[in-house]
Amino acid sequence: QKEVEQNSGPLSVPEGAIASLNCTYSDRVSQSFFWYRQYSGKSPELIMSIYSNGDKEDGRFTAQLNKASQYVSLLIRDSQPSDSATYLCAVGGSGGGADGLTFGKGTHLIIQP
Partner 1 sequence: GAVVSQHPSWVICKSGTSVKIECRSLDFQATTMFWYRQFPKQSLMLMATSNEGSKATYEQGVEKDKFLINHASLTLSTLTVTSAHPEDSSFYICSATTGSSYEQYFGPGTRLTVT
Instruction: Give contact residues for partner 1 (rule: CB under 8 A).
Output: 31-32, 34, 36, 42-46, 49, 51, 88, 90, 92, 96-106
Are 18 and 76 contacting, i.e. CB atoms less than 8 angstroms apart? yes
Smallest gap from residue 67 Cβ to partner 1 (A): 15
CA 46 vs. chain centroid, Å, equals: 10
How far apart CA 69 and CA 77 sit, in angstroms, is 24
Smallest gap from residue 84 Cβ to partner 1 (A): 17
Smallest gap from residue 54 Cβ to partner 1 (A): 17
Decide whether 29 or 113 has the Cβ nearer to partner 1. 29
Smallest gap from residue 82 Cβ to partner 1 (A): 19
How far apart CA 65 and CA 84 sit, in angstroms, is 23
Decide whether 33 or 73 has the Cβ nearer to partner 1. 33
Decide whether 19 or 48 has the Cβ nearer to partner 1. 48
Which DSSP string corresponds to 38-76?
E-TTS--EEEEEE-SSEEEEETTEEEEEETTTTEEEEEE
Q: Taking Cα atoms as reference points, which of 78, 67, 74 lies closest to residue 107?
A: 74
Decide whether 14 or 59 has the Cβ nearer to partner 1. 59
